[in-house]
Amino acid sequence: MKDAFVRNPPFPKNYADEFLVLDHGKGSWVWDREGKRYLDFSSGIAVTALGHGRRDLARIAARQMKKLTHVSNLFTTEPALELANRLVTTGDRLGGRGFSAVHLGNSGTEANEAAIKYARVYALRTKGEGHHKLLSFTGAFHGRTLGSLSLTPTEKYQKPYHPLLPGVETAPYNDLAALDRLNEGYAAVFLEPLQGEGGLDRISPAFAAKLQDLCHRYDILIVADEIQCGMGRTGTFFASEQLGLSPDIVTLAKPLAGGLPLSATLIPAKVNSIVHVGDHGTTFGGGPVTSAVANRMLDVILNEKFLKSVQDKGKLFGDLLEGIRARTPLVREVKGMGLLRGLALNLNSGDNSTLSRVIDAAQRHGLLILRAGTNVLRLAPPLTVSPSELKHGTELLSVVLSTLGSVP
């Protein structure tokens, strides 16, 4: 008999063996195939930033599909040109480090792979051979293809795929002393200004300042991975704007096309000037359909009134979560910024079950949430979530945490 779940579907075993089957969505809500409604505080892992079932996005996508669906990178289209021009101008928000070009891809990991290639070709052609090292940080998640995986220092992800990309090092996140290793042998430093899977930690002002000083001294590119924390999720278009970081390269993806596959790697003039034809490319990236939808996403998200609304709701969200922390012994700390938040739980070392129990219980109560690392609940509602929905979601979460917190 069919229910809301599918078990052992014909997907690879690197995925779960049981899935909740979702059927449709509207705004901040989704429904499973049996008709049960859920408040979505996951947003497809911070992808559906403007919510589900957007008629404007569907209308734009359908219109463009009827007109022109695909041309490859041998040609371009008006939607792609418009999108590239608009993304380049967002560099004005980052303290004067402007962008001159954008590589359009299909996913976050592709955006970071492009950044790796641009960083290494820049170092090779400006500093010569032997200046190719890359630095990332503990807790980072930059993707699952081989290059971006090499920047993601999580053993369970990396171990099956050794040997990884050579010349990649890892340092403790926010550790000022760890930056002293930097010298002109490095091509780039990759970091998430606000970590996602790593537990919703953010860079400190002192860390950002020292990083920028050393990278400027040795001509090392700073790559800000804003795939999850960017595009308005923290209340500004880039999270870096609030954290004192002026990166050379920025990578974007998840919400860029409202749920369709599209990514962007924004590069400065000094990098673009040394790139040669054929150094990188993609067949599907920046197609007319995804680009047309992305332009509508920018129409909404770049509106200052919209960003102010995210800031206001982010403050409300933080206050509501602080209320949960104050009355729930299981919760240790509220983390994150804006509408990308986390609740760090008081868990015993080696406790690998409580986080999953909370997420499963929340789902049974009609709330979809995520995990971040081993002890943090990750919450990423749509940016269009209403204050009443934030209150309802945190009430559900409070009930779940209070119930589980009383169970030994």
For 348-375, what is the mean pLDDT? 92
Count of domains observed in the chain = 2
With a CB cutoff of 8 Å and minimum separation 6, the contacts of 40 are 25, 28, 29, 30, 48, 52, 368, 381, 382
Closest CA to 237 of 218, 220, 224: 224
For 333-339, what is the mean pLDDT? 98
pLDDT in tens, 216-255: 999 999 999 999 999 999 999 999 999 999 999 999 999 9
389 pLDDT band, cuts 50/70/90, is very high
Q: What is the pLDDT of residue 351?
A: 80
Instruction: Convert 174-211 to b/e letters by CB count within 10 Å (16 or more is b).
Output: beeebbeebeeebbbbbbbbbbbbbbbbbbeeebbebb
What is d(CA 259, CA 247) in angstroms, rounded to the nearest whole number?
26
CATH of the domain at 80: 3.40.640.10
pLDDT > 90: percent of the chain: 93
Q: What is the pLDDT of residue 407?
A: 45
| 312 within domain boundaries | yes
Query: In this structure, are 136 and 23 located in the same domain?
Result: no
Q: What is the pLDDT of residue 397?
A: 98
| SS3 state of residue 188 | strand
Which amino acid belongs to residue 124?
A: L
Domain residue limits at 215: 68-302
Which amino acid belongs to residue 200?
A: L
Query: In this structure, are 122 and 38 located in the same domain?
Result: no
Query: In this structure, are 85 and 201 located in the same domain?
Result: yes
Query: In this structure, are 89 and 229 located in the same domain?
Result: yes
Q: What is the pLDDT of residue 408?
A: 41
Query: In this structure, are 198 and 346 located in the same domain?
Result: no
* Contact present, 287 and 69 (Cβ < 8 Å): yes
Query: In this structure, are 37 and 92 located in the same domain?
Result: no
Does residue 405 have a pLDDT over 80? Answer: no
Closest CA to 196 of 47, 69, 341: 341
When comparing pLDDT for 198 and 64, which is higher? 64
350 pLDDT band, cuts 50/70/90, is confident
pLDDT in tens, 18-44: 999 999 999 999 999 999 999 999 999
Query: In what side-by-side order are the strands of the sheet with 263-267?
Result: 101-105, 263-267, 249-252, 221-225, 186-191, 133-137, 168-171
Closest CA to 165 of 122, 126, 120, 125: 120
